[in-house]
């Protein structure tokens, strides 16, 4: 297909790595390409001193501990909002390091504490390992809020792509397990539905960075079986959840030429119909991961919208 992409994105297409995941051998090759993606992201120099440290938190029952990376402005005196951040990568690639520049920008601009989760990756660790790691990190953050300098009444979860799907699954777990209480959820271009049956998922077989063939492998690796079966857990594929009531306010983003577009739009619609305060943004001329091109005006607008949504959702009162 041909795609009417934003003109500022077009010159970058040849510089983006051609990520193709059809089997485990291809996945190994894709993992080696992570550095190519990272090289597209300019080094971010914060305007404020930021403390960064790694912690190891108790993992799910019977599972290894989970590494998290904690970011916060140096010299904070009063509790600030907190965000558990879940990186993207189709459940099978990605790391806290790969998304560090993005997290640093959020902390620098908003004066919040962000805890980024280094969850286990599929297919070596299929569902429920990744989402349970994220929930374990969330419960640790809530329990340690005082030590971390976080106001527990202003705690949220957010992520992008597979991280958006894991965010939705973690939020569902928090509701169904009786906590922690959450103020906000950020679902950035989320991967939510293993059934692969929306218009955008059927049609976008050759879009940049992410497309239907990659999505098929992603879900197969995460579920440990063929996607689209009858017994897939809503904590794995949140689009399967039959009840979305009682969830925290949501900000959902989608890209026009992204196979994940329609499932994000539909999830936002269902959240709103369930009485959850929900804001949806669909960015024209964009593709999955096009925000890597930070110089494009549409990418700058996407990040500004995310920062504004976090400011409102986490009730940031002083970001100076």
DSSP 303-315: HHHHHHHHHHHTT
Comparing 32 with 3, which gets the higher pLDDT?
3
Look at residue 134 in the predicted model and tell me its pLDDT. Answer: 98
Which residue among 6, 87, 118, 161 is the active-site one? 161
Look at residue 39 in the predicted model and tell me its pLDDT. Answer: 67
Known active-site residue 125: no
- What mean pLDDT comes out for the span 71-77? 94
- What mean pLDDT comes out for the span 231-249? 98
User: How big is the chain, counted in residues?
Assistant: 320
Residue 254 parent element (H or E): strand 250-257
Residue 71 parent element (H or E): strand 66-73
Q: Is the pTM of this model over 0.95?
A: yes
**DSSP β-bridge partners for residue 150:** 80
Q: Residue 70 and residue 62: Cα distance in Å, rounded?
A: 24
Q: Residue 188 and residue 166: Cα distance in Å, rounded?
A: 11
Does 204 score more than 80 pLDDT? Answer: yes
Residues 6+ apart with CB under 8 A from 168: 185, 187, 190, 192, 238, 267
Known active-site residue 258: yes
Which residue among 258, 262, 290, 299 is the active-site one? 258
Rg (CA), the chain: 18
Look at residue 42 in the predicted model and tell me its pLDDT. Answer: 76
Percent of the chain scoring above 70 in pLDDT: 98
- What mean pLDDT comes out for the span 150-173? 98
Q: Residue 264 and residue 114: Cα distance in Å, rounded?
A: 24
Is 54 buried (19+), middle (13-18) or exposed (0-12) by CB count in 10 A? exposed
Does 17 score more than 70 pLDDT? Answer: yes
- What mean pLDDT comes out for the span 100-122? 97
Does 266 score more than 70 pLDDT? Answer: yes
Which residue among 116, 288, 290, 291 is the active-site one? 288
- What mean pLDDT comes out for the span 159-185? 98
Known active-site residue 308: no
pLDDT in tens, 60-70: 999 999 999 99
The answer to whether 282 and 254 are in contact (CB under 8 A) is yes
Is 203 buried (19+), middle (13-18) or exposed (0-12) by CB count in 10 A? middle
């Amino acid at each position: 297909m041909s795609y009417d992409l934003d003109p500022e994105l077009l010159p970058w297409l040849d510089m983006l790595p051609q990520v193709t995941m059809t089997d485990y051998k291809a996945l190994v090759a894709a993992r080696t390409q992570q550095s190519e993606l990272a090289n597209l992201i300019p080094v971010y120099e914060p305007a404020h001193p930021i403390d960064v440290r790694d912690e190891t938190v108790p993992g799910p029952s019977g599972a290894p501990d989970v590494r998290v990376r904690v970011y916060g402005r140096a010299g904070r005196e009063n509790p600030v909002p907190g965000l558990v951040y879940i990186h993207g990568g189709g459940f099978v690639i990605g790391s806290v390091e790969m998304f560090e520049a993005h997290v640093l920008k959020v902390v620098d601009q908003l004066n919040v504490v962000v805890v980024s989760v280094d969850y286990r990756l599929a297919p070596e660790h299929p569902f429920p390992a990744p989402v349970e790691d994220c929930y374990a990190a969330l419960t640790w953050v809530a329990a340690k809020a005082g030590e971390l300098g976080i106001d527990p009444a202003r705690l949220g979860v957010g992520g992008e792509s597979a991280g958006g799907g894991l965010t939705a699954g973690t939020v569902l777990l928090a509701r169904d397990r009786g906590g922690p209480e959450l103020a906000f959820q950020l679902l950035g271009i989320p991967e939510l539905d293993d059934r692969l049956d929306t218009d955008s998922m059927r049609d976008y077989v050759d879009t940049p960075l992410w497309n239907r063939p990659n999505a098929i492998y992603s879900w197969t690796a995460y579920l440990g079986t063929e996607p689209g079966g009858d017994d897939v857990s809503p904590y794995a594929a949140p689009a399967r959840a039959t009840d979305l009531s009682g969830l925290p306010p949501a900000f959902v983003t989608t890209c026009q030429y992204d196979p994940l577009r329609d499932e994000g739009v539909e999830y936002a619609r269902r959240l709103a119909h369930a009485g959850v305060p929900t804001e949806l943004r669909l960015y024209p001329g964009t593709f999955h991961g096009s925000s890597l091109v930070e110089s494009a005006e549409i990418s700058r607008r996407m990040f500004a919208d995310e920062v504004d949504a976090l400011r409102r959702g986490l009730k940031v009162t002083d970001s100076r």
